[in-house]
Amino acid sequence: MKQYTSQQIKNIAFLGHGGSGKTTLVDSILYYGKAVERIGKIADGTTVMDFDVEEKKRKTSVQLSAYPLEINDGKWNILDAPGLFDFEAGAAEALSCADNAIIVLSGKSGMTVGAQQSYQKAKALGKPTAFFIGKLDSNHAHFYRVISILTGLYGAVICPIVVPYVEGEAVKCYVDLINEKAYTFDGVKKTECYMPNSDEVNQMRDIMLEAIASMDEELMEKYFEGEPFTYDEKISAISKGIRTGEISPVFAGIQQTGDGVPLMVELLDKLLPTANECATAIIKGEDEQKILPDESGKPVAYVFKTIADPFVGKLSYFKVISGKIAGDTRLKIKRSDEDVRPGKVMYIKAGKQEDAAYITAGDIGCAAKMGAVLTGDTLGDADYVVKSAAFPVANLSVAVFPANKGDEEKIANGLARLAEEDLTIKVKYNTETKEQILSGLGEQHIDVIVSRLKQKFGVSIVMKAPSVAYRETIRKTAKVQGKYKKQSGGHGQYGDVWIEFEPCDSEELVFEEKVFGGAVPKNFFPAVEKGLRDSVKQGVLAGYPMVGVKATLLDGSYHPVDSSEMAFKTAASLAFKEGIPQCAPTLLEPIGILEVITADDCLGDVIGEINKRRGRVVGMEPCENKNQKVTSEIPISETSDFATSMRSITQGRATFTLEFKCYEEMPDMLAKEVIAKAQQ
């Protein structure tokens, strides 16, 4: 592949809801650009971009893939992001390095939640954005119904450019509104045909002309005077609107056949900004700034994705921000100040790579085995770091155990490698429950992680719901004796204590002594305290740690020969076992602060779900985009599948965070179930 400058490069992310046809659209673009010999099919596992074993098996994209396409004396770096919510990391990675975004919609499904969220994220990052309405050969597909929804949501921003002429339910031809020409298609081969006269097409033309007129006062005057716009005026105005975010053009077609795709590619190549026009957000000191690509500057790159491969090592995808990066370029990892050299730089071609002499500013490439480099790293000797992508928070957790004994270390290493590859994977060891906890974005995400552990690292795991870290406490006061006396040949063992146990407000045992007259010598006080601290690690109800306990040593007795630290430690533990059951012990459960951000029309269902899980709503407040934030207190034991329920109830429109707050007494009936289970 030849080298291109930033003035010739367009970095384009394809986003949208799962099943909308993004991957097939990319395949048809690659076919039109003669990079592949045919348009692949998802069902057959023959698309270029879905090359991963998991993607072929599941018939859907699960990770970001990239492909450079040489077209019209320039280059498109195409970034195909997965659409399922479980694999949102791919969309975050794509938006962190793309300069433009194409939101792909199905003419049948229309403006789905995933498409809305993709559009909002792209706009929030200031990315020039367009729509492609595809699958127009599907039953009940209706381009003009989808356009109506778009204009209802986003108003004058929506600007139709290529629209279908429909008779009955079949598309007869596609109209290029800029050129005022109509075409039929045989695959990606277009043939000009008679320009249809249609009320729907005329309405789309009027919408486009109004959008063009709004870009310039002279164009507005021309529009009101009824003068036609020239081709160059149309291209210039729409291009300006795309750059400023005032216009989002809309195209139409059929991905699997390629119908309409050539028109979209040819027009987007004229309309979308190139890499040298698109700034990158950086953090310099405490300030956020934006900089344009600088091909003559110091070499700087941003790592937007990592692939962990046990055979070829770690593969780092990067975008060059400044200068040129070759195999022998010395780079510094800004995060750790370590030096690294790529060794060899390559272009990314989906599941393959092609060697490159260098990667220039504005372009995208990859390198293997770059040591400690991680996703989000800025590489280079610059006085700034590139602003990292915002990844969604993993909210679905499972406890993982080895299917085969002795695989613990392999599992830990494999999960660590996969967490480097996907920043939405979180792995931690719960020291209290002695469980390895794996967190992901959803059930499919967790399932893919398990499959990749087996496929890449050869280990199998068993999953269970994470154990809940309950606590035990007391509600009454009791005074008891603990006496340990053991006689054998020689020295015996003797320790005698009177201890009062009472409730208090403390996470740890509170120990005091009020012994008078030397009934228990001071040198044995630490042994008594140690015996009690060891005892509170396991409560008397279900073996959970005890909190809120105060123990006061009041009295006792000792033997000048047989008493020892061990004897008094044992006596204290006996007092604990005797006294705590008399203090009305009870089970405490962890309570979390749950904050859910949801759409207005889902508010009632969300509150109902929280109430069903024994949660208490403590506040509500409006948020941006007509959302509501619901704050509640909820037992953490009730939230193991909350992420799945929220996705179902809100169609994926809700986000939430959950943080531990405190422990509260558990209802008796539920506490009995937990105790019975622990005693089995």
| pLDDT-based confidence at residue 624 (cuts at 50, 70, 90) | confident
Query: Tokens in use for 472?
Result: 């035990």
Helices 88-97/113-124 angle, 10° precision:
30
| Sign of the C-alpha dihedral computed for residues 196, 197, 202 and 204 taken in this order | negative
What is the average per-residue pLDDT within 506-513?
Answer: 93
The pLDDT of residue 673: 93
CA triple 104-261-154, angle to 5 deg: 35
Instruction: Tell me: pLDDT of 301 over 70.
Output: yes
* Residues 433, 589: Cα–Cα separation, whole Å: 14
What is 261-326 written as a DSSP string? HHHHHHHHHHHSPPGGG--EEEEETTEEEEE--BTTS--EEEEEEEEEETTTEEEEEEEEEESEE-
Q: Say whether pLDDT at 188 is over 70.
A: yes
Q: Is pLDDT at 515 greater than 70 in this prediction?
A: yes
- Confidence tier at 432 by pLDDT (50, 70, 90): confident
Quickly state the pLDDT bin for 490 (edges 50, 70, 90): low
Cβ neighbours, 10 Å, residue 187: 15
Quick one: pLDDT band at residue 517, thresholds 50, 70, 90?
Answer: confident
Predicted TM-score (pTM) of this structure: 0.88
Rounded-to-integer distance, Cα 531 and Cα 510, Å: 13
Instruction: State the burial class of residue 196 (Cβ atoms within 10 Å of its Cβ: 0-12, 13-18, 19+).
Output: middle
Which band of pLDDT confidence, cut at 50, 70 and 90, is reported for residue 311?
low
- Model pLDDT, residue 251: 98
pLDDT at 598: 93
Domains and CATH numbers, the chain: 9-277 (3.40.50.300), 294-386 (2.40.30.10), 396-464 (3.30.70.870), 472-584 (3.30.230.10), 587-679 (3.30.70.240)
With 90 as the cut, is the pLDDT of residue 680 above it?
no
pLDDT of residue 653: 85
Average pLDDT over residues 273-301: 94
Mean pLDDT, range 580-605, rounded to an integer = 94
* pLDDT tens digits, 123-139: 999 999 999 999 999 98
Tell me the residue type at 422.
Answer: D
- Per-residue pLDDT, averaged over 330-345, amounts to 93
What are 220-243's pLDDT values in tens digits?
999 999 999 999 999 999 999 999
Stretch 296-310: mean pLDDT, rounded? 91
For residue 446, the model assigns a pLDDT of: 96
What value does the mean pLDDT take over residues 91-110? Answer: 96
**pLDDT of the residue at 385:** 95
pLDDT of 310 over the 70 cut: no
pLDDT-above-70 percentage for the chain: 99
How many angstroms from the chain centroid is the CA of residue 545? Answer: 34
pLDDT of residue 563: 87
Write down the pLDDT at residue 665. 95
> Residue 313: pLDDT above 90?
no
Tell me: the pLDDT tens digits for 534-589?
999 999 999 999 999 999 999 999 988 888 999 999 999 999 999 999 999 999 99
The distance of Cα 616 from the centroid of its chain, to the nearest Å, equals 27
Q: What is the pLDDT of residue 551?
A: 97
Residue with tokens 């007869």: 172
- Whether 48 and 40 have beta carbons less than 8 Å apart is answered as yes
Structure tokens at 645: 């329920």
Flag whether pLDDT at 487 surpasses 90. Answer: no
**Mean pLDDT taken over the chain:** 94
- Position 489 confidence tier, pLDDT thresholds 50, 70, 90: low
Confidence category of residue 652, pLDDT binned at 50, 70, 90: confident
- State in Å, rounded, how far the first CA of the chain is from the last one: 67
